[in-house]
Chain A
Amino acid sequence: AQTVTQSQPEMSVQEAETVTLSCTYDTSESDYYLFWYKQPPSRQMILVIRQEAYKQQNATENRFSVNFQKAAKSFSLKISDSQLGDAAMYFCAYRSPYSGAGSYQLTFGKGTKLSVIP
């Protein structure tokens, strides 16, 4: 079974600065998907960024980028120019490649609570 580990329960960053959230995972599969989700106080999960394991290029979405190290099974999230609205719980998630109904289920890490200091 796959596992996802987020070793930082809480992080803080000064507004406009850069912060990196760590995530490692364990899998025996060669092809898979990785995600970072944001859960603000409103509690609705929002997709921040996704990475396909077969792609060597790191995914980027505006101020959000990842450092995907497949051999090390590491998938960190970098938030640049942090904003107050970035404050939330961030969950790293793993998904196996699709192989039938139900195969889109995600395995989540325990989350990192990010605080942004004005």
Chain B
Amino acid sequence: GAVVSQHPSRVICKSGTSVKIECRSLDFQATTMFWYRQFPKQSLMLMATSNEGSKATYEQGVEKDKFLINHASLTLSTLTVTSAHPEDSSFYICSARAPTTGELFFGEGSRLTVL
């Protein structure tokens, strides 16, 4: 079946640095990808919708300058957490929409820990 891959799966960084997380759709071209954030024992909260070749659409309350999303190709979307702080520590998950069926496939997730 379709596969969506995220990298890195785990990352630890110092406060004030930036971290980039990649989301790749391996089996299909994804014009639309989504980025979620999941706190421990909680549900997935949509952060933004990433559309290939255009600006991302951010959900209310999500700082677009802090969470930079780039969807430069049909198989890759990146989330960059800029000037990370401990409160940004979380599990970040991406999903990609299959163009023919519309089904969403999820990446394995990336755990960010900011010291």
Contacts and interface: CB of A to CB of B under 8 A. Distances in A.
Same complex for A and B? Answer yes
A104 B97 contact: yes
B102 interface: yes
Interface residues of B, number: 22
Interface residues of A, number: 20
Main secondary structure of the interface of B (DSSP, over half): strand
Interface stretch (A16-24, A65-73, A75-83, A105-113): A105-113
A110 B97 contact: no
Contacts, number: 50
Nearest to A92: B43
Nearest to B103: A47
Interface in A42-96: 42-47, 50, 91
Interface of B: 31-32, 34, 42-44, 46, 49, 51, 57, 91, 93, 95, 97, 102-109
Given A101-B31, A104-B32, 10 more contacts: A44-B109, A47-B105, A102-B32, A102-B49, A102-B57, A105-B49, A108-B44, A109-B43, A110-B42, A110-B43
